[in-house]
């Protein structure tokens, strides 16, 4: 076994001692470190109550705020319940599944707006309440509904278009034709030609239109259209079919009419000339109602009075000439007849137009009566 020198042996001992001293120092450091770490749990355990107290304070603050809001809402609700709505006279109003209470205007602008709305709608009750009370309460939905209703009232109705006007005239004319069918065919059990009803229908259209529809506009209106309207309105109560005579013309009669009576009514209808006179009268009437009248100026002159508001239609003048003078050509140049014919034509125009059109004769008579009475 080799032996170390004594010098080396002596030098190794201090090294060991140094190592021991260093190890002791490290152990002391570890003990110190452990003591510090052991103190941390105690310190955290001591600080935990203060943190929990703060958390409790924060958790309780929303509850306090919500309770305060509830109290304020209850206070507002109790205040609102003291006043009723100006529009519906109720304190609370149910809208869907919720209830709303009255509100109060935040500025004078809203009050003035409500007052202007009441003035526009001539609501004397609302105006009186605005003057008598100091507080104004309303539901927002009631105010909106009141404004919408006023807006609808104030909106001007647009003028009906041309086709809409014609539709109204056709409806009025067909209502009059329906009354004729009820009276003559259903109640009196008579037979009428469809062409006669069509002629009356066109005359009624010209009558109700008052110049807005001309006879030329109705030339394309066929009897089939009127027949469809009659069948759709009266259904099985009347029958529309072609007659057995020559030429075949469509007739309208009650559905349960006897065959013998039907044959007699058809024969009577074919031999009657009343329809021809009626057609002539309607044509002359149309010549009067379709003419345009001339508006008189503010400063009348004798020439304006002589001209009058209209001229005598040629068809009417010729008809009265033929009626008065007859076929005798010697009376055609009679001045006396001419004055009477013009007078009769003027009276017919005045009567047919119900005084809306004043010929020269009636203007002169009016001025004469005024000069006599003044």
CA trace torsion 295, 296, 302, 307 (10° rounding): 10
On the question of pLDDT at 249 being above 50, the answer is: yes
CATH number of 162-272: 1.10.10
pLDDT the model gives residue 70: 45
What are the φ/ψ torsions at residue 77 (nearest 5 degrees)? -65, -40
Give ∠ CA 103-106-107 in degrees, rounded to 5: 135
CA gap 185, 181 in Å, rounded: 5
**What is the helix (H) or strand (E) element at residue 218, kind and residue range?**
none
pTM, to two decimals: 0.46
Lookup: tokens for 107: 């500025």
pLDDT the model gives residue 326: 81
Judged on CB neighbours under 10 Å (0-12, 13-18, 19+), 113 is middle
Beta-carbon contacts of residue 286 (< 8 Å; ≥ 6 apart): 203, 206, 215
Q: Are 130 and 136 in contact (CB under 8 A)?
A: yes
List the beta bridge partners of residue 239.
253
CA gap 286, 98 in Å, rounded: 66
Judged on CB neighbours under 10 Å (0-12, 13-18, 19+), 114 is buried
The model's pLDDT over 116-161, given as tens digits with 9 standing for 90+, comes to 877 877 777 777 777 776 677 777 788 788 777 777 766 555 555 5
The model's pLDDT over 30-71, given as tens digits with 9 standing for 90+, comes to 444 444 444 444 444 444 444 444 444 444 444 444 444 444
**Running DSSP on this structure, what letter comes out for residue 82?**
T
On the question of pLDDT at 214 being above 60, the answer is: yes
Domain ranges of the chain: 92-154, 162-272, 302-373
* pLDDT, mean of residues 168-189: 91
């Amino acid at each position: 076994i080799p032996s170390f020198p004594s010098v080396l042996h002596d030098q190794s001992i201090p090294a060991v001692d140094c190592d021991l001293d260093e190890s002791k120092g490290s152990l002391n450091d570890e003990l110190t470190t452990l003591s510090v770490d052991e103190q941390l749990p105690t310190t955290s355990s001591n600080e935990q109550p203060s943190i929990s107290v703060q958390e409790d304070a924060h958790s309780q603050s929303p509850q306090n705020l919500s309770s305060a809001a509830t109290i304020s809402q209850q206070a507002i609700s109790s205040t609102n319940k003291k006043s009723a709505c100006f529009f519906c006279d109720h304190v609370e109003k149910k809208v869907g599944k919720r209830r709303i209470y009255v509100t109060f205007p935040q500025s004078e602008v809203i009050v003035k707006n409500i007052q202007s709305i009441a003035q526009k709608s001539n609501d004397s009750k609302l105006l009186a309440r605005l003057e008598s009370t100091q507080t104004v309460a309303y539901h927002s939905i009631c105010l909106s509904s009141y404004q919408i209703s006023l807006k609808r009232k104030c909106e001007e109705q647009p003028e009906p278009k041309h086709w809409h006007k014609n539709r109204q005239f056709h409806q009025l004319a067909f209502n009059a034709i329906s009354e004729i069918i009820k009276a003559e065919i259903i109640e009196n059990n008579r037979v009428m030609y469809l062409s006669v009803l069509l002629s009356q229908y066109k005359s009624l259209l010209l009558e109700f239109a008052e110049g807005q529809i001309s006879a030329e506009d109705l030339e394309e209106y066929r009897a089939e259209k009127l027949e469809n309207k009659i069948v759709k309105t009266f259904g099985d109560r009347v029958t529309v079919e072609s007659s057995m005579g020559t030429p075949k013309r469509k007739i309208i009669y009650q559905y349960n009419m006897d065959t013998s009576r039907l044959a007699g009514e058809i024969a009577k209808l074919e031999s009657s000339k009343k329809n021809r006179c009626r057609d002539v009268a309607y044509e002359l009437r149309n010549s009067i109602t379709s003419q345009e009248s001339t508006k008189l100026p503010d400063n009348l002159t004798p020439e304006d009075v002589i001209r009058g508001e209209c001229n005598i239609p040629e068809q009417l003048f010729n008809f009265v000439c033929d009626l008065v003078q007859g076929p005798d050509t010697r009376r055609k140049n009679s001045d006396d007849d001419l004055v009477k014919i013009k007078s009769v034509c003027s009276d017919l125009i005045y009567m047919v137009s119900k005084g809306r059109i004043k010929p020269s004769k009636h203007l002169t008579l009016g001025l004469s009566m005024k000069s006599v009475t003044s």
